Amino acid sequence: MKKYDYLIVGAGFAGSVLAERLASQLNKKVLIIDKRNHVGGNCYDYYDKAGVLIQKYGAHLFHTKYKEVFDYLSQFTKWRRYEHRVKACVDKKIYDLPINLNTINKFFGKDLNSKECSNYLNKIRVKIKKPKDSEEQVVSKVGWDIYKRFFEKYTLKQWEIHPRDLEPEVTARIPIRFNKDDRYFGDKYQFMSKNGFTELFRKILGHKNITVKLQTSYKKIKDRVKFDKLIFTGCIDEFFNYKFGQLPYRSLKFKWKTYNKPFYQEYTVINFPNDYKYTKSVEIKHATGQKISKTTVGQEFPAASGEPYYPIPQSKNKKLYEKYAGLSNELKDVYFVGRLGEYKYLNMDQVIYNSLKLFNKLSRK
Ligand code: FAD
Ligand code: UDP
């Protein structure tokens, strides 16, 4: 039986970054496994039948305020400058999203400047000092009309939960702006990995001390290999055999269509808060910059069952997670990290940041 210093479960960002750090900095022998047939976790991209580079698990755009995360990834990829922009289609009109000065003026038929816009919103917003849910979070910034047309139905579609029953941090992911900045993210570093995410993962995992095994679940392999330490980036409730009950996750289904023309829609992402069963239409080619005569567009349909894409931000779920986290603290040499391991709605840069932090902790031991 082969012996490894570390078994890492999950070859998404959490698992891959830790594998690379442990292998290259501490000379550890690492076995990283994934039950899927590819590396990259939810950031995986591939060339479809038409030759278009698409992201299998929905639109993934890299952005971060953390210089250390950007510098870390820069060792493994060249970058393509790309600042993400999203439009919302409401009543057949296209609006900037996040809500900004243009959105407010177009929606209310006004011609306000930044100062006037701030004053106007101050009049229509609901005065709540500390919003306790996602509905209050939005109405306390922009009032009921925008909330109803841009947020309420989208949120219901995305989560099948009313914004009133979701933590404020869900809608707070999207800023409200009084200027014309129409970028989706405000972070300093916003780039696409030049040749796609999968290529980046191959580089991260290319170290000689790393063995990658795909289509291999933790259950299948745990008694067949020897290892000193375990890093688990899958669902923490699954690891503990659902001892306290299942943590809920939200999933998505995707519908793809290829078109025989260079571009299908004008923007990378168009959100449909009120119409259709899908939340967004994504043409990632705008972001990858691929030069090819065809294009592929994906629609994202939220779903109750399927792959666990989103931890659901509700306080009862946080409490359940805390029970599992308590159990995990009692284990020696077993570490949980990543979006599923920490049961947190984390972006990829936050996952990388947390993984680098865990690496620092492990290297001090
Ligand atoms: P994952 O990428 O989920 O990787 C975990 C891996 O573990 C999976 O490959 C899984 O197969 C494997 N695994 C789980 N259990 C087991 C087991 N028992 N045995 C073997 N293998 C197992 N972030 C951004 O920064 N920007 C974006 O634009 C963005 N868009 C997103 C869009 C969607 C639709 C989704 C769902 C997420 C988005 N994210 C985005 C978040 C991003 O996907 C995550 O932050 C990141 O992928 C998390 O990395 P991870 O390694 O924690 O988890
Ligand atoms: N949201 C919304 N309308 C939109 C876009 C987002 O109501 O057009 C809300 C919705 O609740 C969503 C949350 O804001 O879940 C966070 O949006 P984000 O785009 O960050 O979600 P993700 O990219 O993680 O799916």
What is the DSSP track for 44-92?
A: -EEE-TTS-EEETTS---EEES-HHHHHHHHTT--EEE---BEEEEETT
Instruction: Please state the φ and ψ torsions of residue 75, each to the nearest 5 degrees.
Output: -70, -20
**Ligand 1 neighbour 33 (Cβ under 6 A):** yes
Instruction: Please state the φ and ψ torsions of residue 168, each to the nearest 5 degrees.
Output: -60, -25
Q: How far apart are the C-alpha atoms of 157 and 302, rounded to whole Å?
A: 7
Task: Please identify, by atom number, the ligand 1 atom nearest to the C-alpha of residue 310.
Answer: 36
What structural domains and CATH numbers belong to the chain? 3-82+191-247+311-364 (3.40.50.720), 86-172 (no CATH)
Q: How far apart are the C-alpha atoms of 360 and 310, rounded to whole Å?
A: 27
**Ligand 1 neighbour 38 (Cβ under 6 A):** no
> Which ligand does the CA of 135 lie closest to?
2
Cα separations in angstroms, 175 against 185, 198, 326:
8, 30, 33
**Is it true that the peptide bond before 98 is cis, omega within 30 degrees of 0?**
yes
pLDDT score of 89 = 98
Q: Find the helix packing angle between 348-364 and 13-26, rounded to 10°.
A: 30
pLDDT score of 1 = 75
- For residue 342, the CA-to-ligand 1 centroid distance in Å is 12
According to DSSP, the residues that pair with 54 across neighbouring strands are: 46
Residues 6+ apart with CB under 8 A from 238: none
- For residue 343, the CA-to-ligand 2 centroid distance in Å is 18
Residue 8 · residue 331 · CB < 8 Å: no
Where does residue 291 rank: exposed (0-12), middle (13-18), buried (19+ CB within 10 A)?
Answer: exposed
Q: Give the closest residue (by CA) to ligand 2 atom 21.
A: 173
**Ligand 2 neighbour 140 (Cβ under 6 A):** no
> Which ligand does the CA of 84 lie closest to?
1
Greatest distance between any 2 Cα atoms in the chain: 72
Q: How many CB atoms lie within 10 A of CB 229?
A: 18
What pTM did the predictor assign? 0.97
Task: Please identify, by atom number, the ligand 1 atom nearest to the C-alpha of residue 84.
Answer: 28
Please list the pLDDT of the chain residue by residue as tens digits (365 residues). Answer: 789 999 999 999 999 999 999 999 999 999 999 999 999 999 999 999 999 999 999 999 999 999 999 999 999 999 999 999 999 999 999 999 999 999 999 999 999 999 999 999 999 999 999 999 999 999 999 999 999 999 999 999 999 999 999 999 999 999 999 999 999 999 999 999 999 999 999 999 999 999 999 999 999 999 999 999 999 999 999 999 999 999 999 999 999 999 999 999 999 999 999 999 999 999 999 999 999 999 999 999 999 999 999 999 999 999 999 999 999 999 999 999 999 999 999 999 999 999 999 999 999 98
Q: How far apart are the C-alpha atoms of 64 and 315, rounded to whole Å?
A: 27
Residues 6+ apart with CB under 8 A from 235: 247, 249, 308, 340, 341, 343
- For residue 154, the CA-to-ligand 2 centroid distance in Å is 7
For ligand 1, mutation pick of 54, 60, 356 (most atoms within 8 Å of CB): 60
